[in-house]
Amino acid sequence: MNHDDIWRDRPVFVTGGNGFLGGWLVQRLLEKKANVICLLRDWTPKSVLLDTGLYNKVSIVRGDVENQKIIERTLGEYEIETVFHLAAQTIVGIANRNPVSTFNTNIKGTWTLLESCRRSPLVNQVLIASSDKAYGEQKTLPYDEEMPLQGRFPYDVSKSCTDLLAQSYANTYHLPVTIARCGNLYGGGDLNWNRIIPGSIRSIQRGKSPVIRSDGEFVRDYFYVEDAAEAYIHLAECMNKQKDLGGHAFNFSNETPVTALELVQKILFLMNSRFSPIILNQASNEIRRQYLNSSKAKNMLGWNPRYSLDEGLKKTIDWYTRFLSDG
């Protein structure tokens, strides 16, 4: 049986399907002929799911991930077998200003989803979106999966808790759950303009200098969103073959750390722009150096990214060029 046969007609539940990663994941699942059901809290017309018309090909459940009755009803009535839990408040600045709503969505939403899956006998795969931020700040770089989860700031804490909750359900109840920790996602469809890549591209397209909120020296690895969608699908396919993956966490990254200034300079070069970035030096409650080691995913799952940073940036610039010209 090939991998596409695994997905054909398979009932798959995606929380956060109208989010940035969610839209790309839904698109790939539909290409593989899965029967996709999406939980949507907000109706965001410019999201990948809605703007491309993908929503016409999936079943939509309106509701909040914190509502256990809705989650359990969906899992039961749609006979869900695979769950991708992506719903979260993902913006660091919003988390700093609104910690309680972030904790409700990211932490309560996760235990609600996990408990609902525990009570739903047909569910045999649960994939939880954690983050590199779950590690907090570590003395050793790059981060690997053996390091403790020690978030300190609101968003980081919410992802540490998400991750630990998933591990708890795997170890206590033997729920078939795995955890994905991705580097900073980027690519077409990210409409959070305060993020450095979409914000820089939009500024340059509008004839303005890109703005860097930090001092330009914060280091991250940037992971192309189509690679991330493929990583989630690949992980689920491996869970189908390797029954001992429950409770495991995997880092996914292209392992190319760059500073914020280096990243913006790459974008300026690829867009043939002569602008210079404006450096605000205003970042707070963020870790200065953070990037991932993906050896575990490569060795245990046979996974590798398809796109280099430059290749991903070129595709991203092309996407926003079309998007902004249409708008």
Active-site residue numbers? 155
Give the DSSP H or E segment for 201. Answer: helix 196-205
Is residue 196 within 8 Å of 212, Cβ to Cβ? yes
Instruction: Give dist(CA 155, CA 24) in Å, integer.
Output: 23
Amino acid in the structure at residue 28: R
CB neighbour list of residue 213: distance below 8 Å, 6 or more residues apart: 194, 196, 280, 282, 283
Structure tokens at 33: 């002929």
Instruction: Give dist(CA 244, CA 183) in Å, integer.
Output: 25
